[in-house]
Amino acid sequence: MLEQEISVGAWKNGTLIGFARAISDGKFRAYIEDVVIHKDFQNLGIGTKLISKLLERLAHIDVISLFCEEELIPFYENNNFKVGKTQFVMHQTIVP
């Protein structure tokens, strides 16, 4: 699965200004790990274009999931994602 990372980037004058990446088993499931846009280029539609390109590369996958902060829910809903009702997010934090 870890060898199935898929990523797309946005560049301006040779500088990376945004990227999105997902990991997948290559058949049934994919998880969008990151969508990152440099702060100077946010709200210009770059994130939407990156998600679109990433989803094109994942079109053969049955289930594509992601986790996001609550304020980003409208962005992902505009990109055809739906809020799940049965998932829980669990974390383990190692404290030295």
Domains in the chain and their CATH numbers?
A: 2-77 (3.40.630.30)
Identify the pLDDT of residue 12.
96
User: What's the pLDDT score for residue 54?
Assistant: 95
Whether pTM exceeds 0.95:
no
User: Are the CB atoms for 20 and 66 separated by under 8 Å?
Assistant: no
List Cα–Cα distances, 84 to 10, 28, 70, 93, 96, in angstroms: 29, 18, 13, 24, 34
